[in-house]
Amino acid sequence: MGFLVKFGSVKIQLCIWCNYMDFLERRSVIALSSIYLFRMLGLFLIMPVISVAAIEFDGTSPALVGAAIGVYGLTQALLQIPMGMMSDKVGRKPIILLGLTLFAIGSLICANADSMTTLILGRAIQGTGAIASTLMALLSDVTREQNRTKAMASVGISIGLSFMASLVFGPWLFAMIGLSGLFYIALGLSIIGVGLILFVVPNVRGHRFRRDLTPSLGSIKLIWTNRQLRFTNICVFVLHASLTALFLFIPMELINRYEIALNVHSWVYFFVIGIAFFAMIPMVVIAESKAKMKSVITFSILILIVSIAGMALSLSFVFFALMLWLYFVGFNTLEATLPSLVSKLSPPGARGGAMGFFSTHQFLGAFFGGSIGGIILQYYSSTALFAVIGILLLFCVLLSLKQAPVNHLTSLAFSLPKLSEIETDKLTIELLSIVGVEDMQIFIDEQTAYLKVDKKRLDRHKLQQLVPAVSI
């Protein structure tokens, strides 16, 4: 099941549930992608309406609204890495069930909130269900190596769909069932997620390739000192800070300045984000297939700066909508390319840690964008908000220009028999002598090897002669 998109000589197959997966893999990928979608939908549904809906609470201020939008990001950031590491010890499913339960409790508190303080508390508890890295690790546990990239792509699609759906359906649902109704939907979706984990996703007895799936203490220093990974972390922080801050302003701007009723906002977002999604695809293809990752990322950040300046100076709804479309072209492109870049840049056996740090900065960005953006709107103006976002994005452009060109390397991992120190040293020398193997690491305690390879140059025949079990 899928469809082919062609841009000139470049073809890309968009396949959600791949034909090459067996029934158990397909069932697991569908279930876990659905949990991702439901959970993110529950978090994002309020984003396009909260600045309007919060008027019903006494003592509401832009700063408190910003905290209500972004506080989930703080608890997500604090717990993402610890819960991922804990899943290696107690199992994936118990951690995911705990996270979904906490999310459900937070949703219930928000649904019955009668003050901004209670709403903020509920949102913080929603965020304690920090299971993104654990879900991704479980997805890797239940899929074969040759299907893992396709499974990860399915999850990426579900996350993108959840964000688009929240903006499109949030205003429409709010008009029918109010703010509490949106949180009851989030509660219901978390309960469905529990059912999927218990009855659809198979149990996994052992976790292979843990270092590439979940964060480890040993990889923290290695990741922290990597200049290129630091850039991706800063970039995703600013990206999500800008998004959260903008949605403190956009709904009220559409209502007050352009006189567009809240229940019509769904149509605005539907057309703007839908068209932006298709405009983003050629840029992602160029980044990946043409090895132009650095250029595309730099260009996408410049697009964001232009769109921010345009929204700040807009005098008509049509121009404002055009700038909003431009913003989402840049945003969607970065959302698709930055995680891929992290995977390419991560040291062998440290991809789980690199993605954990990346997700932590992503959620911290949402927190700071909401809280600091709310304070700026309360005490200064929307012009000041746009200026701060623009300066942060300009800083990202300067950092991007200083980055070295990206080597498009692929991660490979395979299990090893029990080896002596001499045998390990010999295997290391033989692997590093293969053309296309750029870096590698063997972990004796886990009996696994992690390679970073250039697939265009890789001597596949020699690698598979040395390691017949490896999937390329």
What band does 20 get if pLDDT is binned at 50, 70 and 90? low
Question: Which pairing describes strands 437-443 and 3-7: parallel, antiparallel, or unpaired?
Answer: unpaired
Residue 49: pLDDT band (50, 70, 90) is very high
Residue 155, pLDDT score? 76
What does DSSP say about strands 448-453 and 410-415: parallel, antiparallel, or unpaired?
A: antiparallel
The pLDDT, as a whole number, for residue 211 is 65
Task: Tell me the residue ranges of DSSP E strands in 131-278.
Answer: none
Same CATH fold assignment for domains 26-206 and 220-408 = yes
Residue 434 CA, chain-centre distance (Å), reads 34
- Band (pLDDT 50/70/90 cuts) for residue 4 is very low
Q: How distant, in Å, are the alpha carbons of 15, 264, 428 from that of 29?
A: 12, 35, 34
pTM over 0.85: yes
| 316 vs 323: CA distance, rounded Å | 11
Q: How confident is the model at residue 396 (pLDDT cuts 50, 70, 90)?
A: very high
Range 139-144 average pLDDT: 78
Most confident of 201-215, 218-232, 309-323, 456-470: 309-323
Q: What is the pLDDT of residue 226?
A: 87
Assess whether pLDDT exceeds 80 at residue 151. Answer: no
User: Token match 């709403």: residue?
Assistant: 119
Give the per-residue pLDDT at 299: 96
Mean pLDDT confidence for 16-20: 47
CA-wise closest residue to 336 among 369, 367, 296, 303:
296
What are the residue ranges spanned by the domains of the chain? 26-206, 220-408, 410-466
Q: Residue 472: what pLDDT?
A: 64
The mean pLDDT value for 157-180 works out to 89
Share of the chain above pLDDT 70, in %: 90
Angle between helices 351-379 and 382-402 (to 10 degrees): 150
pLDDT tens column, 236-261: 999 999 999 999 999 999 999 999 99
User: Given a cut of 50, is residue 369 above it in pLDDT?
Assistant: yes
Residue 13's pLDDT band (boundaries 50, 70, 90)? Answer: very low
User: At CA 71, angle to CA 69 and CA 72, rounded to 5?
Assistant: 90
The residues near 250 (Cβ < 8 Å, ≥ 6 apart) are 48, 324
Does the structure show a pLDDT above 70 at 227?
yes
Distance CA 48, CA 160 (A): 16
| pLDDT (tens digit per residue) in 440-470 | 888 877 778 888 888 888 888 888 888 876 7
pLDDT of residue 217: 67
pLDDT band (50, 70, 90) for residue 373:
very high
Select 410-466's CATH number: 3.30.70.100, 3.40.1170.10, 3.40.640.10, 1.10.3720.10: 3.30.70.100
pLDDT single digits (tens) 86-131: 888 888 899 999 999 999 999 999 999 999 999 999 999 999 988 8
pLDDT, tens digit, for every residue of 317-355? Answer: 999 999 999 999 999 899 888 888 888 888 887 787 888
| Mean pLDDT value across the chain | 86
Question: Poorest-confidence range of 136-150, 217-231, 271-285?
Answer: 136-150
Q: Determine the residue type at 21.
A: M
Task: Using the predicted structure, report yes or no on whether residue 9 has a pLDDT greater than 70.
Answer: no
- Asked if pLDDT for residue 12 goes beyond 50, the answer is no
Residue 441 host element (H or E)? strand 437-443
How much is the pLDDT for 15?
Answer: 46
Q: Is the pLDDT of residue 17 over 60?
A: no
Task: Confirm if 337 and 284 have CB atoms less than 8 A apart.
Answer: yes
User: Does residue 200 register a pLDDT over 70?
Assistant: yes
Question: Which CATH code fits 220-408?
Answer: 1.20.1250.20
Query: What number is the average pLDDT over the span 362-376?
Result: 95
How far is Cα 360 from Cα 79, in angstroms, rounded to an integer?
9
pLDDT of residue 222: 78
The pLDDT assigned to 161 comes to 83
Higher pLDDT, 154 or 206: 154
Residue with tokens 């964001």: 304
* Helix/strand/coil for 210: helix
Helix (H) or strand (E) holding 453: strand 448-453
CATH annotation of 26-206: 1.20.1250.20
Say whether pLDDT at 21 is over 70: no
